[in-house]
Amino acid sequence: MRNNGKGLDFNISDLLKQNRILYPVFWLATCVAFYRSGIYIALVFTLLIVPLLLKFKYYDATFVLISLYSISMGLVGGIMNSIPGGGTDIIFIIISPPLFYLFGKYIVDKSNRKHDIILFLAITILCFGFFLYRTILTDIIYNGFINPIREMSIGGADRPATHYGTIASLGFIGLGYFIIIKKSNNLFMALIFLLCSILSIITTFHLINRAGILIFIISTISILVYYYKENISKLVYILFALILILLIVFSQSHYTLDLINVYEARNSYDAATLGSRTILWKDAIGNLVSYPWGWSELNIEMKHSLVHNYWLDNARIAGVFPFIFSVAILFRPLRYLTRMLKTAKDSLVSLFLGIFIVMFLSLFIEPQLDACPYYVSLFYLLLGLINKSYNKYLR
């Protein structure tokens, strides 16, 4: 993969020169995505990027599929009155996926080097988790390290652990990226990634989130395996060091026994079905044929039941067509990402790999369309980044 620019220095002012309006508004919308008023800022940003529709050079097969997904979601979901949220939420859910995809391609197109994209993503991850991290630390101070009820108030409403796990998930890639980044040139950037990772892990333990632990482990190991695939001895050394550090931390922690007990209690009744998710997935797959226009508003056994899978929740809300389009959308980005992984180690590819794994797994096991539509839109932005980066930096 070609490397534009020398060194790995990061300069926010250079990044903002690429667009002094869209980037700050996007980061503001990302900061407040979970607040009740956040949807209005997100919608304002979405409308600001409507002119990108005139950038015909950004159009490709993936954009067409995303557009078809949005159209089918809007038509069927609108007729069935099954799209979650109020009027503003519905508008955002329908129009944001193709526009966020174009925005991802725009970011790469305007970048002078790959490190601009890395900096943009680092700021985005920090913004997405900023208010969550503040809430988590406050809750720990007042209520202790473990929150047995798994609920907190943020954005003016009490929200379950699933919502917070969504926000925290992007920070999981921080540890793996901290390890591979050259800290001599980018100490500040490395510390941002490490801080986000630590706070996201604390969030996971504080809310007794099982899925978060697995996503963190898988994403971290994937980043390290890709980056050190040609140096197996160093990979083994790093993994051994991480395990040793974790053992030391947990052996010295006053909360270790409490964490073991609460996780054992959660696993005692539904671990075999992934928190009943496998049952929901099986029933939803059967409903694809029985209810091709969706079943969210029908008087059946699964009425109003979240499927805990983004693609199957599309089917629940608006039927088989959004489901097919949302699955087909993944083909080209996955092909490009796979080709990138065959290149020599690269910091941007490592970041893409970690974020894609985190977001894909989070979308696969959580009801993100209902919990956080903005998270879904960020996923489409990531697909735009991957597709455009492949064409700009690899070919």
pLDDT in tens, the chain (395 residues): 444 434 445 678 778 888 889 999 999 999 998 887 888 999 999 999 999 999 889 999 999 999 999 999 988 887 777 787 777 888 999 999 999 999 999 999 999 888 889 999 999 999 999 988 988 898 888 888 888 777 777 655 666 777 788 888 999 999 999 999 876 667 788 888 999 999 999 999 888 888 899 999 999 999 999 999 989 999 999 999 999 988 887 776 767 776 777 777 666 555 555 667 888 898 889 889 888 988 876 655 554 478 889 999 999 999 999 999 999 999 999 999 999 998 878 989 999 999 999 999 999 988 778 778 899 999 999 999 999 999 887 66
Tokens linked to 79? 């007729």
What is the 3 state secondary structure string of 3-71?
Answer: CCCCCCCCCHHHHHHHCCCHHHHHHHHHHCCCCCCHHHHHHHHHHHCHHHHHCHHHCCHHHHHHHHHHH
CB proximity list for 143: less than 8 A, separation 6 or greater: none
User: In whole angstroms, what is the distance from residue 84 CA to residue 98 CA?
Assistant: 19
What does the angle CA 383 – CA 166 – CA 122 come to, to the nearest 5 degrees?
Answer: 55
Query: What is the per-residue pLDDT for 270?
Result: 56
User: In whole angstroms, what is the distance from residue 92 CA to residue 378 CA?
Assistant: 12
Residue type, 149: I
Strands of the chain (E only): list them. 151-154, 157-160
Which helix (DSSP H) or strand (DSSP E) does residue 247 occupy?
Answer: helix 232-252
On the 0-12 / 13-18 / 19+ scale of CB atoms within 10 A, 30 is buried
Tokens linked to 308? 């805990």
CA 355 to chain centre: 7
User: In whole angstroms, what is the distance from residue 254 CA to residue 67 CA?
Assistant: 52
Query: What is the per-residue pLDDT for 273?
Result: 57
Which residue, chain included where needed, has tokens 């083994």? 236
Tokens linked to 77? 């979901």
User: In whole angstroms, what is the distance from residue 175 CA to residue 46 CA?
Assistant: 31
Query: What is the per-residue pLDDT for 352?
Result: 96
Query: What is the per-residue pLDDT for 44?
Result: 94
Residue 128: Cβ within 10 Å count: 25
Query: What is the per-residue pLDDT for 230?
Result: 87
User: In whole angstroms, what is the distance from residue 302 CA to residue 61 CA?
Assistant: 34
Query: What is the per-residue pLDDT for 394?
Result: 67
Tokens linked to 50? 């409507």
Can you give the residue ranges of every domain in the chain? 12-50+57-247+326-394
Residue type, 73: M
CA 296 to chain centre: 25
